[in-house]
Amino acid sequence: MHNLEDMEKAVSGEGDENVANPAATAAPPATPPAPTRSFFDRYKGFIIVGIVIVAAVAAAFEFGWIGAKSGKNRNRLVLYGNVDLRQVDLAFNDSERLAEVLVQEGARVTRGQILARLDTSRLTPETATAAAVVAAQQAVVDRLHHGSRPEEIAQSRANVASAKADQVNALQQWTRLAALTTLTTGRAVSEQDLEAAKAALDSAQAHLAVADQALELAVIGPRKEDIAQGEAQLRADQAQLELLHRQLADAELVAPGDAVVRNRLLEPGEMVSPQRPVLDLAITDPKWVRAYVSEPDLGKIHPGMKASISTDGFPDRPFSGWVGFISSVAEFTPKAVETVELRSSLVYEIRVFVRDPQDQLRLGMPATVLLELNPAPAKP
């Protein structure tokens, strides 16, 4: 019986778990592999140690830089600043229409070069008129200084002689009429004729006196007061002419020194005034680096001290210079210059002048200043 049941199970596949359930007969699944560790996980400890070492080295370098800057660890002083130079806003002295601008931005100009001109169409004839007035007054003053001409004196003498002849004639006429009146007891000459002769005599004597005074004035010459008045008027006319000449000269805008045109602010046709600059110039010489020194380092530098200046733009070409200015007033470190830790420190501004004959340094360029801390020269 059991054999029969076993046969039926064998035929039907029941009872053989290996045949009926292939999954049951398969080998058990393998254990999944452990996940692969990343590079950071493997060397995490080494990386952390490396970061700590780098940070320590950076901190040491930072403290070393500060030491170099303060001059405590080395026999030199390293400062950081920016290139600075003078800037000039050029404007005309008078208000007039701008005629022409002769330069462009970036142009290099030299001292005395004409950069722009104003319209002088009205100023030119005014100057010519003033020159004519001066010439006329100069002639008046010359005549006063020269006095009377010989011909004028001779003319005055002739007038005196003529007046004297008239006076003699009038005197004789009056004398005859008076004598005739006395002889004839007034019957031969009327009283009216006698009075007319007396009036003619008085007039002749007066004319003679005038002629004598005119001759005296001609010989003496002009009065000192008249000469002084003429000279004063001449000076006033000359001053007016000089003013017009000055205005003509000011109609040309001239470069005050060697410079570079930074901005062209106005164009021809615009009205200018002393308050409206036409050009903005950057003076190329002198140039300096504006830097700041802490109070402990202030006694280590002195005016005239030699310096070496380097920039990022010219790393292999240092510029020579010297300390030209040391401020006598302390100030807080500018925020644009130092780190946050040093911004509250009191510092002193210095200016290190730079020799830059090729004009390679630009306004605002960062620069590093190296000062060799040599002893200051003894004062005489």
Would you state the pLDDT for residue 340? 53
Count Cα atoms within 13 angstroms, Cβ side, for 180: 14
Q: Average pLDDT in the 83-91 region? A: 92
- Answer with the residue of higher pLDDT: 110 or 40: 110
Would you state the pLDDT for residue 29? 47
Q: pLDDT tens-digit profile of 341-375?
A: 555 578 889 999 999 888 888 888 899 999 988 65
Least confident of 35-39, 117-121, 228-232, 266-270: 35-39
Please, what are the domains in the chain? 74-86+281-372 (2.40.30.170)
CA atoms of 367 and 309, how far apart (whole Å)? 7
pTM passes above 0.85: no
Q: Which two tokens stand for residue 20?
A: 């009926």
Q: pLDDT tens-digit profile of 64-77?
A: 444 334 434 457 88
Question: Mean pLDDT for the chain?
Answer: 79
Find which of 59-63, 263-267, 324-328 is predicted with most confidence, using mean pLDDT: 263-267
CA atoms of 77 and 298, how far apart (whole Å)? 11
| Helix, strand or coil, per DSSP, at residue 206 | helix
Residue 284 near residue 359 (C-beta atoms within 8 A): yes
Q: pLDDT tens-digit profile of 17-60?
A: 443 444 444 444 444 454 555 555 666 666 776 776 766 555 54
Would you state the pLDDT for residue 22? 41
Q: Reply yes or no on whether the pLDDT at 99 is more than 60.
A: yes
Q: What's CA 8's distance to the chain center, in Å? A: 123
Give phi and psi for 147, each to the nearest 5.
75, -165
Q: pLDDT tens-digit profile of 281-312?
A: 998 888 999 999 888 888 888 899 999 999 98
- Containing H/E element for 278? none
Tell me the pLDDT band of 105, cut-offs 50, 70 and 90.
very high
Percent of the chain with pLDDT over 90: 37
Strands (E), 102-152: 108-109, 114-118
Peptide bond into 29 cis (omega under 30): no
- Containing H/E element for 283? strand 279-294
CB neighbourhood size of 351 (10 A): 21
- Answer with the residue of higher pLDDT: 110 or 363: 110
Q: Is the dihedral of CA 114, 116, 120, 126 positive or negative?
A: negative
Q: Give one word for 140, left, alpha or beta, with left for phi > 0 and alpha for psi -120 to 50.
A: alpha
CA distances from 141 to 138, 150, 159, 373 (A): 5, 18, 27, 71
Starting at the earlier edge strand, list the strands of the sheet with 271-272. 252-254, 114-118, 96-101, 271-272
Would you state the pLDDT for residue 200? 86
Q: Average pLDDT in the 157-179 region? A: 83
